[in-house]
Structure 1
């Protein structure tokens, strides 16, 4: 059984997961909102190189070497050059690289490879999940030599399924990643989703609406890749319901978020 632990830094709380104990990592709370990833990395591993992206709800996953190219391209088109490249996932290529994503109700996913020491950080909202961004990040890790049995995956605090109301069309679009049904066939897709074990689809009293557990969809995507449930941990925390620790866009409509990050290590013998 994987456990989640509250840690503190200067009396401020953040979460870690036992599944990722081999890596410096943290799912930070709203109390750290004013601190950028470069400062949060100092808490985890002060000498690590820090990488983040401009999140756009897609399925692009970048490596640091690609980011440098993207940053140079931005510099040529934009003299300010302040904005990081657009993507929703990062993988490392060397030891001592820290990768970060931010989220409010979307799912922050941190991945570690126990053999290579490499890691990934992914921002998986419903749009990214519909585009299978977590499997995309894993495919990128595999292209660098990762094997599925060596991966450890932790999904941090996000809005719980029972609180996340979406349209039936959105649910069908996300669910189409799991079942062999066209997302346009909404009724057929919803029926198939309801039949899944521990279905990610929950009833909603409002016509044309359902509740969707995005973290469960990601877990099922991982199962379909051949990753065992023992390799996956899901935080028992809902951003919508825990107003003391987490921002929730659904709850407050504020454009604020909390950061989640992980640092790569050297290759294991």
Structure 2
């Protein structure tokens, strides 16, 4: 099956793509383009998938990923790190041609950034913890340190779990509202004692508040599309022993 590559109009000037599970060589529960080094998948299949994914966006480029920890930590990449020595972070920035930045997700929101004029790109893993903790703002700040201007930065939020699929409890809601009362707008009514959280909307709002010049959201729900995307929450609800991860990638224009 051919790799499915979703693009954003906001990033049309730079090589990028939000990839799902279609394509790839993994089999079984993680069948498809599973790029998760931490999944219980054949390591050789995962490595092959990671190369296929990178080449789908920037043929021959070195893939740069981090050990994601749901944090606001961001690293600047001058070269690709070995898989066993990936720094712990949830954002990556570079201005170096020949690299392709990759963020892994399985319900969390992948965010790709570019200031095409400055030749600076970024990628962030924005789960609720990272988004709440400031990974979006930290990625923008790191881009600015290397010549980007936030008014010129375009950003796109890729496939992630949608509000209708993301049930949270009262404590979760309370944490957000106590930090900022206006955050209540990202929650819809659910069953007793529960709410539906709009992760994509929350991330878009953080981008807008950061002064990003152009923001786009793809509006794709990972949970409800098992043929297209991996989903941690869906795998958990099905009591599956492992789950795959998809990758979102961006590179500096040649």
Shared fold by TM > 0.5? Answer: yes
Partner of 2:189: 203
5 Å-filtered alignment, 1:74-89, equals: 82-89=84-91
Change (3 A) 1:95 1:175: farther
Partner of 1:223: 208
The 2-side partners of 1:221 and 1:176 are apart by 16
Shift of 1:144: 1.2
Partner of 1:7: none
Task: Choose which of 68, 89, 110 in structure 2 pairs with 1:55.
Answer: 68
CA contact (8 A) 1:156 1:235 kept: yes
- 3-state SS, counterpart of residue 151 of structure 2: helix
CA contact (8 A) 1:99 1:263 kept: yes
The 2-side partners of 1:82 and 1:239 are apart by 28
Partner of 2:244: 256
Task: Choose which of 8, 13, 21 in structure 2 pairs with 1:22.
Answer: 13
Partner of 2:171: 169
CA contact (8 A) 1:52 1:99 kept: yes
C-alpha deviations, 1:23-75, integer Å up to 9, x for none? Answer: 1111111122244433322122223232101111111111114976xx7xxxx
Q: TM-score, normalised by structure 1?
A: 0.77
CA contact (8 A) 2:116 2:253 kept: no
5 Å-filtered alignment, 1:91-130, equals: 91-130=93-132
The 1-side partners of 2:79 and 2:135 are apart by 17
The 1-side partners of 2:221 and 2:205 are apart by 19
Q: Which structure: larger Rg?
A: 1
- 3-state SS, counterpart of residue 243 of structure 2: coil
5 Å-filtered alignment, 1:112-151, equals: 112-151=114-153
What residue ranges of structure 2 are gaps of 5+ in the alignment? 23-32, 35-45, 237-241
CA contact (8 A) 1:201 1:212 kept: yes
CA contact (8 A) 1:156 1:234 kept: yes
CA contact (8 A) 1:129 1:174 kept: no
The 1-side partners of 2:50 and 2:76 are apart by 17
The 2-side partners of 1:83 and 1:218 are apart by 29
CA contact (8 A) 1:37 1:52 kept: no
The 1-side partners of 2:122 and 2:108 are apart by 16
CA contact (8 A) 1:59 1:128 kept: yes
- 3-state SS, counterpart of residue 222 of structure 1: helix
**More moved, 58-67 vs 135-144:** 58-67
1:45 aligns with 2:58: yes
- 3-state SS, counterpart of residue 82 of structure 1: helix
CA contact (8 A) 2:223 2:229 kept: yes
CA contact (8 A) 1:118 1:265 kept: no
Query: How many residues get paired?
Result: 227
CA contact (8 A) 2:79 2:99 kept: no
Q: TM-score, normalised by structure 2?
A: 0.82
